Structure 1
Amino acid sequence: MSRSLLIISRQAPWAGPSAREALDIALAGGAFDLPLGLLFLDDGVFQLVGEQNAASLEQKDLMANLQALPMFGVESLYACEHSLAQRGLVGTALALPVKTLASADIAALIDRYDQAITL
């Protein structure tokens, strides 16, 4: 039986390699049918904003990887409501359909998975 995995992505897409690494793990896990979820927390919610100009920061755009998640079977996508609100992203059209969670519900989400990693 496969163990489930929750990946918690806390870094903005331009803050270093952590955001890309989280997506790579999610895509690899999805390719092997690992039951997994992806939670965007803190500055990680910035990954959900479309129309980013990554080239101006000499970074690679993560949007293609994000949009590939459902094709790899990664459909359990979550975002922290508080993180979105703190960054002015409430009501903003996000690039992916995510389920928003109140801060109090995040602990319950983590408990549903066998393993959790934070990047």
Structure 2
Amino acid sequence: MAKSLLIISRQAPWNGPSAREALDIALAGGAFDLPLGMVFLDDGVFQLANGQQPAALQQKNLGANLQALPMFGVDALFACGHSLASRGLAAGDLALPVQVLDDAALTGLIAQYDQVVTL
């Protein structure tokens, strides 16, 4: 039986390769039917924001990778409510539907997974 994996993405899409690496791990795991979830925490919630213009920063757009997550079976998508609020984002501002969690629910979610990777 495959162990479950939770990926916690904490970096903004324009702050180095961590955001892309987290998405790549999720897509690869989904392609192999690995039970996994993904949490966007801290500046990682900026990955979910609509209307990004990464070309202005000479970055690649992560939007296509985000949109591919459900197609690869990665349906367990979560965002930290505190992180969203403190960065001025609301559920309507996001490019992908996620379940917004408070701190207690986030702690409970992490405990449900066998392995946790933070990028």
* Same topology, TM > 0.5: yes
Matched letter for residue 21 of structure 1? E
Q: Kindly tell me: are residues 28 and 91 of structure 1, through their superposed partners in 2, closer, same or farther at Cα, counting changes over 3 Å?
A: closer
The aligned counterpart of 1:51 is: 51
- In 2, the alpha carbon distance for the partners of 1:91 and 1:101 equals 11
Q: Which runs of 5+ in 1 are unaligned?
A: none
**Secondary structure of 2:23's match?**
helix
Which runs of structure 1 show a deviation greater than 4 angstroms over 4 or more consecutive aligned residues?
none
**Secondary structure of 1:21's match?**
helix
Q: How much is the aligned-residue C-alpha RMSD, in angstroms?
A: 0.8
The aligned counterpart of 1:2 is: 2
**Secondary structure of 1:110's match?**
helix
Q: Report 1:1-119 matches (<5 A).
A: 1-119=1-119
Residues 72-112 of structure 1, C-alpha deviations (whole Å, 9 max, x = no match): 00000000000000000025431001000001111100000
- In 2, the alpha carbon distance for the partners of 1:33 and 1:51 equals 31
Q: Which runs of 5+ in 2 are unaligned?
A: none
Matched letter for residue 106 of structure 1? L
- Per the normalisation by structure 1, the TM-score is 0.98
Aligned length, in residue pairs: 119
